[in-house]
Amino acid sequence: MKRVMIIGTGLAGMHLLQRLKAAGDTEIVGIMGDGNVWEDLPILERWEDIPCYIEKCGVEQVYLAATEIENEKKEQLLGWCKTRQCQLIIEPPFYEAESRKAHILQMAHDHMETLLDRKLVRLPLDTRTLVQGKIILVTGAGGTIGSELCRVLAQYRPAKLILMDIAEHDSLRIMQEIAPVAKNTVLVIGSVTNEKLMRHVFEVHRPHIVFHAAAHKHVPLMESNLSQCVENNVFGTYCCAVAAAEFGVETFVLISSDKAAQPVSVMGKAKRICEIMIRLLDEETQTAFCSVRFGNVIGSSGSVLQAFAWQIAYGGPVMLTDTSMTRFFMTVKEAAQLVISAAFLEKKAHMYMLDMGMPVRIVTLAERLLKLVEREDIPIVNTGKREGEKLAETLCAPEEKLCSSGYSHIFTIQNNTHFQGNEWFGTLKKLQETLFQDEAAAIRLIQRLILEKES
- For the cut 60, the answer to whether the pLDDT of residue 440 exceeds it is yes
The tens digit of pLDDT for each residue in 88-138 reads 988 877 777 788 888 999 999 889 989 988 888 876 667 778 888 899 999
**Residue 124 pLDDT:** 61
Mean pLDDT of 204-213: 97
User: Does residue 34 contact residue 9 with C-beta atoms inside 8 Å?
Assistant: yes
Task: Determine how β-strand 326-327 pairs with β-strand 360-361.
Answer: antiparallel
Residue type (1 letter), 359: P
The tens digit of pLDDT for each residue in 126-166 reads 777 888 889 999 999 999 999 999 999 998 889 999 999 99
Q: Does residue 383 lie within any of the structural domains?
A: yes
Q: Among 38, 68, 91, which residue terminates a domain?
A: 91
Residues 86, 134, single domain; the answer is: no
> Higher-confidence residue: 107 or 453?
107
Q: Does residue 19 lie within any of the structural domains?
A: yes
Q: Does residue 449 lie within any of the structural domains?
A: no
DSSP-assigned letter for residue 312: H
Residues 316, 220, single domain; the answer is: yes
Confidence of residue 259 (pLDDT cuts 50, 70, 90): very high
Is pTM beyond 0.85 here?
Answer: no
Q: Does residue 443 lie within any of the structural domains?
A: no
Q: Among 45, 72, 91, which residue terminates a domain?
A: 91
**Residue 432 pLDDT:** 95
Measured distance CA(154)–CA(213) in Å, rounded:
16
Residues 271, 176, single domain; the answer is: yes
Residues 338, 270, single domain; the answer is: yes
CATH number of 25's domain:
3.40.50.720
Q: What are phi and psi of 284, to 5 degrees?
A: -105, -10
Residues 218, 306, single domain; the answer is: yes
User: Does residue 323 contact residue 383 with C-beta atoms inside 8 Å?
Assistant: no
- For the cut 50, the answer to whether the pLDDT of residue 454 exceeds it is no
User: Does residue 254 contact residue 274 with C-beta atoms inside 8 Å?
Assistant: yes
Identify each DSSP E strand in 267-367 by its residue range.
288-293, 296-297, 318-320, 326-327, 329-330, 351-354, 360-361
Q: Does residue 229 lie within any of the structural domains?
A: yes
The tens digit of pLDDT for each residue in 39-63 reads 677 787 788 888 888 888 899 999 8
**Residue 455 pLDDT:** 35
- Based on the structure, what is the number of domains in the chain? 2
Residues 22, 153, single domain; the answer is: no
Residue 339: name the closest of 409, 406, 261, 243 by CA: 409
Kindly report the average pLDDT of the chain as a whole number.
Answer: 88
Q: Does residue 262 lie within any of the structural domains?
A: yes
Residues 202, 320, single domain; the answer is: yes
Residues 87, 143, single domain; the answer is: no
- For the cut 80, the answer to whether the pLDDT of residue 285 exceeds it is yes
Measured distance CA(419)–CA(414) in Å, rounded:
14
Confidence of residue 9 (pLDDT cuts 50, 70, 90): confident
Residues 243, 355, single domain; the answer is: yes
Mean pLDDT of 215-222: 91
DSSP string over 389-432: --SB--SS-TTEEEEEEEETTEEEEEE--B--HHHHHHHHHHHH
Identify each DSSP E strand in 242-328 by its residue range.
251-255, 288-293, 296-297, 318-320, 326-327
Mean pLDDT of 270-276: 96
End-to-end Cα, the chain, rounded Å: 60
| Residue numbers of the domain that contains 174 | 128-422
Measured distance CA(92)–CA(65) in Å, rounded:
8
The rounded Cα 126 to chain-centroid distance in angstroms is: 28
Confidence of residue 35 (pLDDT cuts 50, 70, 90): low
Least confident of 183-187, 258-262, 291-295, 312-316: 312-316
Q: Does residue 121 lie within any of the structural domains?
A: no
Handedness of CA 77, 83, 84, 85 (dihedral sign): positive
Q: What are phi and psi of 9, to 5 degrees?
A: -120, 25
Q: Among 41, 65, 91, which residue terminates a domain?
A: 91
**Residue 294 pLDDT:** 87
Residues 280, 380, single domain; the answer is: yes
Residues 18, 160, single domain; the answer is: no
Q: Length of the chain in residues, anyone?
A: 455
Q: Does residue 217 lie within any of the structural domains?
A: yes
Residues 261, 379, single domain; the answer is: yes
